[in-house]
Amino acid sequence: MGDKSLADNLYLILAGIFIASLISCNLIFQKFFEFKVWLPFIGYYTFQQSVGLLVYPITFLMTDIISEIYGMKKANRVVIAGLFASLFMLLIVTISNHLTATPWSPVDGPTFSKVFGLSGAAVFASMMAYLFAQFIDVRIFHYWKNLTSGKHLWLRNNASTIFSQFIDTFIVLFLLCYLNVIEWNMFSKLLINGFLFKVFFAAFDTPIFYLLSWYLKKKFHLKDNVDLSTI
């Protein structure tokens, strides 16, 4: 398999992981979990957040890798593809929610509606936050990449992800509260919890980002500040 074919296949895999992660977080967001964690100077803190938060940061890791290896244009294409995939998912869920369940259906109509009925509000809020955050992430990533001449991977990975994910967290929670999906008294706590989790994930995924970028650059013979779109 030549480098061109490998690059194309890998791009599809990364895009597929991105879209699957994006759609998953919109479908499972209604379940919230909690656990206690000990923090310096604070003591035990009860962390509460949607399970959708567990998978969503993966989307930023995927766009950062695509940006690094394939360039801004390919990263933006994945963002747009994710938008259309989410809208298509919303259409399917909406149609399914309005169909009458049979008496023997393992999942009855009210249960299905309770689990997926808020997907419309969730997808609307998520898409607004998603469009702002992902495009900001890609642009900041390439701003720092150009400014540092392709060096300091950790800087552009963390700087772009942390800032864009704060924007994403704020917008999606604001809209969900405004649409009465989540109560306003939970806004501040969920904003802080969500942002802290995403900062942790940004730091956690830095070694993964380094390893994948190093391997793929070596595989495709890319130098600093060079991606596949420029050769």
3-state SS track over 8-32: HHHHHHHHHHHHHHHHHHHHHCCCE
For 114-134, the pLDDT digits (tens) are 888 765 666 666 677 767 777
Placement of tokens 């909406």 in the chain: 94
- What was the pLDDT predicted at 21? 92
Q: Considering only CA atoms, which of 26, 17, 16 is closest in space to residue 130?
A: 26
Question: What's the whole-model pTM score?
Answer: 0.81
Q: How far apart are CA 195 and CA 218, in angstroms?
A: 33
pLDDT tens series, the chain, 231 aa: 457 888 999 999 999 999 999 888 878 877 888 888 777 777 777 778 888 888 878 888 898 899 889 988 898 899 889 888 988 888 888 899 889 999 999 999 999 888 887 656 666 666 777 677 777 777 777 777 777 766 766 676 666 777 777 887 888 788 778 877 788 888 888 888 888 787 777 778 888 888 898 899 888 888 877 788 876
Output the CATH code of domain 3-230: 1.10.1760
According to the model, what pLDDT value does residue 29 have? 79
Residue partners of 39: CB distance under 8 A and separation at least 6: 45
Element (H, E) at 77: helix 72-98
pLDDT at residue number 17: 96
29 Cβ contact list (under 8 Å, min separation 6): 50, 51, 52, 122, 126
Taking each helix axis from N to C terminus, what angle separates 206-219 and 3-28, rounded to the nearest 10 degrees?
160
